[in-house]
């Protein structure tokens, strides 16, 4: 996960856009809370900057 975060940072997309948490299937409430937190974090970061580029149609 650190490798992916480092790569996203080097690319310029920011390491905050990816996260991993370990939860069991019995931790539904915690899962929902993590998803809420991640959603808020990504919203705060704004849309994927690659979508704003000219070549947004290209495959990455």
Partner 1 sequence: MIIAEQKKLEEIQALVGNARKVLIAGCGTCVTVCFAGGEKEVGILASALRMKSRLEGKPLAVDEVTVQRQCEWEYIDPLGERLKDYDLVISLACGIGVQAMNERFPDTITVPGLNTTFLGLPEEQGVWEERCQACGDCILGITGGICPIARCSKQLLNGPCGGSQRGVCEVNPETPCAWQLIWERAEKLGRVEQLLAIQPPKDWSKSRDGGPRKIVREDLRLVENE
Q: Is 54 exposed, middle or buried (0-12, 13-18, 19+ CB in 10 A)?
A: exposed
CB closer to partner 1 out of 13 and 18: 13
CB closer to partner 1 out of 13 and 34: 13
Q: How far is the CB of 37 from partner 1 (least distance, A)?
A: 25
List residues near partner 1 by CB under 8 A.
Answer: 7, 10-13, 49-50, 53-55, 58, 60
CA pair distance 29, 42, nearest whole angstrom: 20
CA pair distance 14, 5, nearest whole angstrom: 8
CB closer to partner 1 out of 13 and 38: 13
């Amino acid at each position: 996960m650190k490798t992916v975060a480092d790569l996203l940072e080097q690319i310029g997309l920011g390491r905050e856009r990816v996260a991993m948490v370990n939860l069991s299937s019995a931790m539904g409430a915690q899962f929902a809370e993590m998803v809420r937190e991640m959603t808020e974090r990504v919203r705060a970061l704004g849309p994927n900057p690659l979508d704003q580029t000219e070549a947004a149609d290209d495959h990455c």
